[in-house]
């Protein structure tokens, strides 16, 4: 018998990574390297540092494979969150602004684009994607600055040139709309 | 030092998104977390926002890593990939995947030789906690692996790779062996028996015990001799 490693479920590859199996570890890295590197590069902007962060994310996944709990989310979401947290740590250590607001429209377009691959693959986030696309521009930017770049409401307010209260309201209202879309997808129920 | 004032649900709702995204700071964050300790409704609200934030991360564009990335990652993990028989481990995990699929499909899990061509969506969305532990002989030689799946239904899967020449002290030729689980309160529960062929064999069973209480497993011969043990409490 034998199932090619690249066709095994994500959870099995993660178990193999944690167990130190070379074949399964390689399959795990190959399956997720573009996702992990993409997250790191988006947040950090610098390919060299992004690669370091992506490597760290895989190392952390290996160290914590045993505590992964699928009730909390998919392997993909778990790994993405690991990479994101590491990337946020890097940009918070910088003195410069995490993101130039002028770069946000391109990112939001990429995030709300619906390429064909999502139609045939695992686009569980279709509802959130549509909701993000439908947000007023100010809310979408605020949500992206806070949710992707880890910017506080105060940093959002400064970057956007709006009062702190306005920035907080944009983050709250934007996220509430995304949450509603997420719940409508039925994936928030456990 | 002044004491933090209690935050109301209305106040919390105003900052819940920031808390969920990890961007709430200072005193406001401390007050919000204090509120969560007392309010189940708001805790659920922020959990949903948190999951929504994670979902949003899934929308980020993928990126092609630099050439050699996977090699460097594998090198970083290299000291952990010295599996004694990687091909066998892979086969074992493939079988575990089939078992998981079969159980998830309500087939009882025993048609292990049945074909499954691709990961079922039902697997990745199953509420799974997969624990594993190495089986070791008394001489601390690797002897296989045991997996515990904490889902509905629970199951265990054992893959045994006992080298007959490794000196475990008993005749391993085509013998029947017994799988037992050890619980945190010291009980030994016999789960079932299966057959080894030349020291090799794999076997799965519904797990009769709440997996959280399982602290170890052991494999014995029919006469009770312990052939190998596994510990779920030991560090990885």
* CATH (domain of A22): 1.10.1740.10
- Provide CATH 2.60.40 ranges for chain B: 87-231
Chosen domain end from A41, A67, A96? A96
Confidence of residue B97 (pLDDT cuts 50, 70, 90): low
Q: Which of residues 152-211 of B touch A (CB under 8 A)?
A: none
A189 and A132 in a common domain? yes
Chosen domain end from A78, A96, A114? A96
Confidence of residue A138 (pLDDT cuts 50, 70, 90): very high
Q: Is 90 exceeded by the pLDDT of residue B234?
A: no
Domain membership of residue A25 (yes or no) is: yes
Q: Is the peptide bond before A54 cis (omega within 30 degrees of 0)?
A: no
Q: Percent of chain B, pLDDT > 70?
A: 62
Query: Averaged over B43-61, what is the pLDDT?
Result: 94
A135 and A184 in a common domain? yes
A12 and A91 in a common domain? yes
A179 and A115 in a common domain? yes
Give the CA-trace dihedral at A116, A121, A122, A123, to 10 degrees.
10
Burial class (CB in 10 A: 0-12, 13-18, 19+), A10: buried
A153 and A189 in a common domain? yes
Domain B87-231 has CATH 2.60.40: yes
A167 and A89 in a common domain? no
A146–B95 CB contact, under 8 Å: no
> A47 is in which domain, residue-wise?
8-96
Q: Which of residues 54-113 of B touch A (CB under 8 A)?
A: 54-66, 69-70, 72-74, 76-77, 80-83, 86-87, 89-91, 93-98, 100, 113
Q: Is B226 on the interface with A (CB under 8 A)?
A: no
Lowest mean pLDDT among A124-138, B22-36, B110-124, B133-147: B110-124
CA dist B154 and B196 (Å) reads: 24
* Residue A175 DSSP one-character state: H
Domain count across chain A: 2
A112 and A39 in a common domain? no
A164 and A102 in a common domain? yes
Q: Is the peptide bond before B153 cis (omega within 30 degrees of 0)?
A: yes
A164 and A92 in a common domain? no
Query: Averaged over B192-205, what is the pLDDT?
Result: 75
A127 and A78 in a common domain? no
Q: What is the pLDDT of residue B158?
A: 77
**Among partner residues A5, A55, A168, which is closest to B76 by beta-carbon distance?**
A55
* CA nearest to A175, candidates A140, A150, A134, A148: A140
Q: What is the pLDDT of residue B182?
A: 87
Interface confidence, given as ipTM, is 0.89
User: What pLDDT, in 10s, does the model give residues B74-84?
Assistant: 998 874 444 33
Domain membership of residue A2 (yes or no) is: no
How big is chain A by its Cα radius of gyration, in Å? 18
Lowest mean pLDDT among B89-98, B132-141, B152-161: B89-98
A142 and A85 in a common domain? no
Task: Count the helices and strands in chain B (H runs, E runs).
Answer: 6, 8
Chosen domain end from A81, A96, A111? A96
A82 and A102 in a common domain? no
Separation in Å, CA of B197 to nearest CA in chain A: 17
């Amino acid at each position: 018998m034998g199932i090619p490693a690249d066709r095994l479920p994500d959870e099995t590859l993660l178990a193999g990574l944690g167990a130190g199996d070379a074949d399964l570890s390689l399959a795990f890295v190959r399956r997720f390297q573009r996702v992990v590197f993409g997250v790191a590069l988006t947040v950090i902007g610098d390919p060299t540092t992004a690669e370091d962060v992506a490597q760290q994310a895989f190392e952390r996944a290996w160290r914590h494979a045993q505590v992964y709990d699928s009730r909390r989310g998919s392997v993909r979401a778990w790994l993405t969150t690991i990479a994101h947290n590491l990337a946020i740590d890097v940009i918070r250590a910088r003195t410069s602004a995490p993101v130039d607001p002028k770069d946000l429209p391109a990112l939001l377009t990429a995030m709300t684009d619906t390429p064909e691959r999502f139609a045939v693959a695992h686009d569980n986030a279709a509802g959130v994607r549509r909701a993000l696309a439908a947000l007023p521009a100010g809310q979408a930017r605020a949500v992206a600055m806070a949710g992707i770049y880890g910017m506080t409401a105060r940093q959002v307010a400064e970057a956007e040139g709006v009062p702190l209260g306005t920035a907080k309201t944009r983050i709250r209202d934007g996220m509430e709309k995304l949450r509603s879309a997420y719940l409508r997808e039925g994936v928030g129920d456990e | 030092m002044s004491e933090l004032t209690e935050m109301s649900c209305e106040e919390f709702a105003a900052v819940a998104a920031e808390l969920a995204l990890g961007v709430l700071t200072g005193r406001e964050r401390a007050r919000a977390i204090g509120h969560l300790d007392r309010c189940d409704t708001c805790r659920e609200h922020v959990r949903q926002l948190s999951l929504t934030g994670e979902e949003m991360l899934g929308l980020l564009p993928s990126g092609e890593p630099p050439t050699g990335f996977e090699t460097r990652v594998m090198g970083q993990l290299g000291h952990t990939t010295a599996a004694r028989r990687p091909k066998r481990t892979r086969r074992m995990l493939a079988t575990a995947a089939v078992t998981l699929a079969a159980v998830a499909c309500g087939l009882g899990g025993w048609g292990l030789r049945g074909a499954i061509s691709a990961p079922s969506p039902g697997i990745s969305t199953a509420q799974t906690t997969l624990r594993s532990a190495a089986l070791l002989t008394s001489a601390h030689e690797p002897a296989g692996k045991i997996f515990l799946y904490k889902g509905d239904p629970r199951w265990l899967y054992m893959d045994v790779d006992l080298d007959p020449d490794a000196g475990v002290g008993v005749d391993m030729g085509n013998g029947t062996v017994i799988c037992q689980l050890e619980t945190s309160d010291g009980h030994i529960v016999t789960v079932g028996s299966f057959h080894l062929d030349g020291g090799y064999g794999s076997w799965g069973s519904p797990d009769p015990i709440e997996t959280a209480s399982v602290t170890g497993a052991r494999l014995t011969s029919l006469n009770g001799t312990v052939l190998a043990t596994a510990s779920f409490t030991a560090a990885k």
